[in-house]
Amino acid sequence: MSDLRIKLFADGADLESMLEMRGNPLIKGFTTNPTLMRKSGVADYRAFAQAALQAIPDRPISFEVLSDDFEVMHRQAVELAGWGPNVFVKIPITDTHGNSSADLLHRLAAEGIRLNVTAILTLDQVKVAAEAVAASPSSVVSVFAGRIADTGRDPVPLMSRAMEILKPYPAVELIWASPRELLNIFQADQIGCHIITATTDILKKLDLVGKDLIEFSLETVQMFVRDARLAGLEL
């Protein structure tokens, strides 16, 4: 893993898991979203964010706006950015009606806010996002490669093209978001992607990298036998 160029970000909203991941030197940042917060039972957004930022003041953390109204999103983005210098504000590429958030992104970028443009799945959206945040001090464009793969499409060519699109924008980095398996980390690294953000379940598999396959096969057989006994299965 030491030869990886890509930065690994932990994706989640469970504070205990975030603190565990903070102890891993491979983890260079964190991302959250409202769906993950709901899954983790977060009820107080500000309290959760303040606890996370107090514990992790030295790495980027992305927090997302909650509104579907662009003016309210602007107000929320300004508040979120004020929570800490390491905060990146997540803005979806469109609202829930499909209206582009480009104007809002331009406005926030001009105000010096670090942005994470999220929910991107097409190259046209990559272009719109990159141009919109070009004036920000540092921003990321988050392409949901895992969701692209869920449709039966290979995300690698699209992500490679996205890297080409971002070349004229040195302050904008590409995130390979929502990976489905550990292999995606190496695929993203191979094309030069800047960041990959993965859930704890995937990141915990890092210990398997390079594992001997004969040993892994034996452990699998042992698991089947053990679980059959524990379940009391008989023939």
The residues annotated with a catalytic role in the active site are 90
The torsion angles phi and psi of 83, rounded to 5 degrees, stand at -75, -25
C-alpha span between 188 and 176 (Å, rounded): 7
- Give CA separation, 28 vs 37, 144, 162, in Å: 20, 19, 22
Give backbone dihedrals phi and psi of 174, rounded to 5 degrees, phi first: -100, 130
Angle (deg, nearest 10), helices 155-166 and 123-133: 30
